[in-house]
Structure formats: C-alpha cells, structure tokens
Amino acid sequence: MPAKLSVNVNAIAMLRNRRDLPWPSVTGLGRIALAAGAHGLTVHPRPDQRHVRFSDLPEIRALIDDEFPGAEFNIEGYPTEEFLALVERHQPEQVTLVPDDPSQATSDHGWNFVAQAAFLGPIVARLKKGGLRVSLFSDPDPSGMAAARDLGADRIELYTGPYGACHDDPARAEGELSRLGEAADAAFAAGLDVNAGHDLVVDNLPPLVRRVPRLAEVSIGHGLTADALEYGMATTVGRFLKACGW
C-alpha cells in the first residue's frame, strides 16, 4: 500500500493568525483536504499557539469523527505536561513526539534515543497505556532504531529536511535519499513502522517512496500549503497523493 498522506494544517493556521479573523479556516481547508482523499490531518500545537491554537484541536477532532471517521488525527509536539494533557483530551490516532525547543521556528532534528531514553521511556509508556500510537521524530541514523524500539515506540518519523533542502542539487539529494533509506531499513529490521516528514514536495516524494516502499505515512504542511495557493487545496491533495503512488 502506498504511503498515506496526512496534511499538516499549521501553515494555514499561521496565515489565519495574522489577523483577528476566522479565515482561512483551518477546519474548512481540512475538510476540503480530507474530501479530496487525504488520509488524515496533522497539527503541531506550540506553547505560544503561534500556529495551531489549542481551540482548534476539538474542532479538528469533531471534523474527523463526524465527517471522516476513517481518517486519522496526528498531534505532534514536544512532550511537556501541557502537551500531554492536550493529547489525552483530544485522543488522536497518533502522537508524534519531537525534540523542539519552544522557540524553534520548525522541527529541525530528531531525538537521541539513547541519551534521552530516561526522559522518553515513561512518556511513551503513558501514551501507549492510553491506547495511542506513538511515533518518534528521528534523524536518518540507522544506529538509533533498536533504541527507539526499546522505548516502546510504534513508529519513527524520519526527518527529511536535509533531503528537501537539496531541491537544486540532485547529487546531494541522492546522498540524503540513501541515508533515509538506510535508516528506514534499520527501523523495519527493528520492528518499527516508518513515517516521514519535512520539506517534502511533489517532485521529491516519488524517489522517496521508491526507496522506502513500506513507508506508512508522510506528513506535509509547508510545501502542500504553498502548492494549494497555486492549484487549490483539492487539486493539490490529488497531486500529492499521486506523488505517493495512489
């Protein structure tokens, strides 16, 4: 089965937040994305709510439950107690834990699964006890995958930012793709499923899914939202689904 597409709506929320107005509508564009075939919606509620607001979460949860019950809600973020309480309140199908500092503009590195095991282990156990699927944001480092498994994670999400940054350098992109592939192979060997996300676009998705044919999910926000400004959300979702192999 091709990789599922989860649309990250943070960039939509950031545009809305420039004015004290309700548009563009996060749930409205989320509805269009799901109706066009997206498999889920992703949010990253940061502590300062500069992108998705905490008040968006129950609305997205209701949208999926009431209109698209086959879709998934993915909440990602740094696991503060406030974040964990949000997750437990809104019951996403998947929680993606990222090692972001609150001041970071966007995610830019994965966890050190060995060095941060004492911190992550109890958090993963708490979320798993609540019946949630847990994915851990990961650099493309094959050596860390057994440690991620030992933490109790179900999946890792490969950080594809360096690969996306090679949009004008095909030779360097090949090297980054090789690193991602080797990390994915190690994750599969450890018994983990693999997601991917960050700076993925229509052009660089097909090589990734060819190299990692068992990729479970891609979470895409910035590039997809940029394309939606040009093509519209429904057409853009169709373009990204095709790039994933659907």
Select which of 39, 44, 51, 90 is catalytic: 44
Q: If DSSP codes are grouped into helix, strand and coil, which group holds residue 68?
A: coil
Select which of 39, 51, 90, 198 is catalytic: 198
Rounded-to-5 percentages of helix, strand, coil across the chain? 45, 15, 40
Select which of 39, 51, 72, 76 is catalytic: 76
d(CA 188, CA 44): 26
- Establish whether 222 is a catalytic residue: no
CB neighbour list of residue 195: distance below 8 Å, 6 or more residues apart: 96, 135, 155, 156, 157, 158, 215, 216, 217, 218, 219
d(CA 174, CA 208): 10
d(CA 43, CA 31): 14
- Establish whether 76 is a catalytic residue: yes
CB atoms within 10 A of CB 171: 7
Chain length of the chain: 246
Tell how strand 72-77 and strand 40-43 pair up: parallel
Give catalytic residue positions.
Answer: 44, 76, 198
